[in-house]
Structure 1
């Protein structure tokens, strides 16, 4: 007979340093960041603090797609791929719709691998800073998980 054990609840905060690199499109074509159907692919560092000396503990790799006609919402499919000693070869899979103009956005943690196998929970994205000149954002990500 199967044994039911209570889930372990953990919470932690990490920082994502998102940079959007722009590829030139068709000459004369009007485009903006919030144009419906725009797709961004990210592979950016994850650290534990804002300090420039903070150790990188992983990468945020995924796809962000503008999914509403008015450009207000994006769909995010993001893997946090850890490479630090404590969580090496572990991932968290985050997915959901985000209202990109809000300072706080909540998305679901739908699974994980390694130390986060079978994880479920939520992640709160908070914009710490945004530099439109260089298309760079610093996002604080607070994750709360239930792990069997």
Structure 2
């Protein structure tokens, strides 16, 4: 009888110990917060301003395109068969960046990302999302990130929202000018003048 009582007391102790563990875990979960506080971060006192000038070549035609359509909704009604970029179309690109406007000029990097036609009206506008990495010179291995509305006009402003390497924490803007555009194929060459503020 005494052995049975001792056995039950031992089981009660084990169960009680487990209940304490469960309660402690549960109470710590309940006390968890979304906001854990703020603190002052040392930020460099000097911000660099860098200017870049290069050309982006976007080619949809031929045997070796740098931009290809990867999605187009079935529900899109194309009233204008001459429209090379129907509403909702999504393209993926891997465009070369060069020092000069000639496609054979020195390649200094590549722009990779995607763009989609995001307007339904006559004001053709893309949503551009790209990482422009430089593969030569002082900024080899660094990149700028561009996420912005991209109206299909001759001159436009676009936003630099970030970067990597020497352009870490970058912010800035781009003046992009179309120096060549083929309305039949959609091929284009853009001149980019970039102003970047970074650490």
TM-score (norm 2): 0.65
Q: Distance in 2 between matches of 1:12 and 1:116?
A: 12
Q: Distance in 1 between matches of 2:131 and 2:47?
A: 22
Any gaps of 5 or more consecutive residues in structure 2?
A: 1-40
For residue 86 of structure 1, what is the aligned residue in structure 2?
A: 138
Match of 1:95 among 129, 144, 147: 147
Q: Distance in 2 between matches of 1:98 and 1:132?
A: 17
Cα–Cα, structure 1 residues 64 and 23, in superposed 2: closer, same or farther, change >3 Å?
closer
Q: Which has the larger radius of gyration?
A: 2
Equivalences for 1:66-145 in 2 at 5 Å?
A: 66-70=117-121, 72-100=124-152, 102-145=153-196
1:34 aligns with 2:85: yes
For residue 9 of structure 1, what is the aligned residue in structure 2?
A: 49
Structure (1/2) with the larger strand percentage = 1
Corresponding pairs, count: 145
Cα–Cα, structure 1 residues 53 and 67, in superposed 2: closer, same or farther, change >3 Å?
closer
Once the two structures are TM-superposed, the CA of residue 35 in structure 1 deviates from its matched residue by 1.7
Any gaps of 5 or more consecutive residues in structure 1?
A: none
1:54-85 Cα deviation digits (max 9, x unpaired): 21011111111001112621100011111114
TM-score (norm 1): 0.85
When the two chains are superposed, the root-mean-square deviation of aligned CA atoms in Å is: 2.4
Q: Which moved more, 1:48-57 or 1:112-121?
A: 48-57
Cα–Cα, structure 1 residues 79 and 23, in superposed 2: closer, same or farther, change >3 Å?
closer
Equivalences for 1:54-69 in 2 at 5 Å?
A: 54-69=105-120
